[in-house]
Every structure is written in C-alpha cells, then in structure tokens.
Amino acid sequence: MLPSKIRYASRRDYNSILKIALEVFSKRHVRYIRRMLPRTCILVCEVEGEVAGFLQYFSRRYNGLRISVVYYIAVAPKYRGMGIGSMLLETFEDDIWSDVDIIMASTWAENKSSMTFFEKHGYTIYPLRKLVSTLGYRETLSLVKTIEAFDDNVIMMKPTVRIAEDVSWLISKLE
Ligand SMILES: CC(C)(COP(=O)(O)OP(=O)(O)OC[C@H]1O[C@@H](n2cnc3c(N)ncnc32)[C@H](O)[C@@H]1OP(=O)(O)O)[C@@H](O)C(=O)NCCC(=O)NCCS
C-alpha cells in the first residue's frame, strides 16, 4: 500500500478532483460534480502530494430520516485496487456515523464494480424497480430526488447503528 493521507478538500483541490472526474465519468456527471461542489463535503486521498481519489457527499432529511449520501466516489485508474476507495468510504462513514440513520449511494446496474465495492462494505443493493414495487412510485421518486440519483437505477443503503424509529418503516418495507 502506498503512503497516503485522507483529508477534507479545500477549493485548491477542485481542479484535481475535476481532473479525476473527467478521467472516470462522462461529461454530464462531471457537470453534476462541479455544480454540487459548493453544497457538498469532499474527502480526498492524497498519495505523494497528488490527489488520487475523492468522495463527495451531502446529508439531507427524508420523511424524518437523516440520510448521508455518497454523491460520487472515484479513484484515478492508476490507483485502483489499492484500498484507496475503501479508505475514503470508511473515513466518510466514521465521520457521519453517529449523526445519521442511514447512508445511501446510487449507481447504474451496469456498474458492477461499484456494486461489488459497496456490497463489500455492507451496503444492500436495491434496483429502482424493487423500490417502486415496495415503496410505490411517488415515494421512490421523492427518495430519488432527495438523494439526487436521477441518472441511476440502483440505490445502495446501509443503516447506521443509531438507527432511529423513523427508519424502520423504510427498512421493513424493503425486507
Ligand atoms: C469503485 C471505486 C471507487 C473503488 O475504488 P478502489 O480504490 O479501486 O477500491 P478498493 O481498492 O478499496 O477495493 C475494495 C473492494 O471493492 C471491490 N472492487 C473494487 N474495484 C473493483 C472492480 N473493478 N471490480 C470488482 N470489484 C471491485 C473489491 O471487492 C475490493 O475488494 P478486494 O480488495 O478484497 O478485492 C473505483 O473502482 C472507481 O473509481 N470506480 C469508478 C467510479 C465509480 O464507479 N464510482 C461509483 C459510482 S459514483
């Protein structure tokens, strides 16, 4: 494992973050990442002074639930498979764990590596159609809006230990 450091990003990191985003995602996704820069928290992993990956997140309320959302996570291709994504995700989880009821992330069904990555970290995968059939269309749409998952068809969830009473209605419906 290379010597690395996880820290919160400052404005000075925005160019490096967007450079990785351009390497990894389509231009549309890069626009979303850029647009949300002022309204999100970003953790970066630095390897020998270079930003090797980032995790962009925000927290919101949904029907009384406190949700933290992994908006985007990306590791530059040359640094993949070295545990950097895991370090970013684990640092983020440690930081928000006691303040939220559930963590969510979203992706598209073709992105198997992303689903494997989140599953490995204890997230349960819900295809959008399953959410629609259990929660109903309106409720699912409201959830998708809350977590800004407009382009995705898979939502991944991990309840925290401080799970509130309020979360049980959602989890029980999905079980
Ligand atoms: C998903 C991503 C962030 C993982 O980062 P990473 O630093 O390579 O991940 P790690 O090295 O910490 O891997 C942790 C686990 O995730 C899984 N994983 C990661 N990349 C994988 C891949 N390409 N295929 C299958 N499993 C993968 C593995 O199970 C791995 O466990 P292992 O080391 O025991 O094999 C990275 O692959 C990436 O940037 N992907 C493109 C962007 C993306 O799809 N982001 C998610 C949607 S926003």
131-152 pLDDT per residue, tens: 999 889 999 999 999 999 999 9
- pLDDT (tens digit, 9 = 90+) per residue, 18-45? 999 999 999 999 999 999 999 999 999 9
153 lines ligand 1 (CB under 6 A): no
pLDDT band at residue 89, thresholds of 50, 70 and 90? very high
Nearest in space to 21 (alpha carbons), one of 37, 8, 39, 10: 37
Q: What integer pLDDT is reported at residue 173 of this predicted model?
A: 59
Is there a contact between 11 and 52 (Cβ–Cβ < 8 Å)? no
Distances in whole angstroms, Cα of residue 160 to Cα of each of 66, 89, 90, 99, 112: 10, 14, 13, 9, 24
DSSP 123: P
- Residue whose Cα lies nearest atom 6 of ligand 1: it is 85
Residue 105 has pLDDT above 60, yes or no: yes
For residue 79, give the ligand 1 atom closest to its CA: 7
Is there a contact between 174 and 134 (Cβ–Cβ < 8 Å)? yes
21 lines ligand 1 (CB under 6 A): no
Q: What integer pLDDT is reported at residue 5 of this predicted model?
A: 96
117 lines ligand 1 (CB under 6 A): yes
pLDDT band at residue 161, thresholds of 50, 70 and 90? low
Residue 122 φ then ψ, to 5°: 90, 10
Distances in whole angstroms, Cα of residue 144 to Cα of each of 54, 62, 71: 22, 10, 12
Q: Decide: pTM greater than 0.75.
A: yes
Q: What integer pLDDT is reported at residue 141 of this predicted model?
A: 95
Determine the 3-state secondary structure of 112 from DSSP: helix
- pLDDT (tens digit, 9 = 90+) per residue, 53-82? 999 999 999 888 899 999 999 999 999 999
- Residue whose Cα lies nearest atom 22 of ligand 1: it is 113
For the chain, first and last CA: distance in Å?
38
Mean pLDDT of the chain: 92
* Residue whose token pair is 């985007």: 72
Q: What domains appear along the chain, each with residue ranges and CATH number? A: 4-174 (3.40.630.30)
Residue 170 has pLDDT above 80, yes or no: no
Question: How crowded is residue 5: how many other Cβ atoms within 10 Å of its Cβ?
Answer: 11
DSSP 56: E
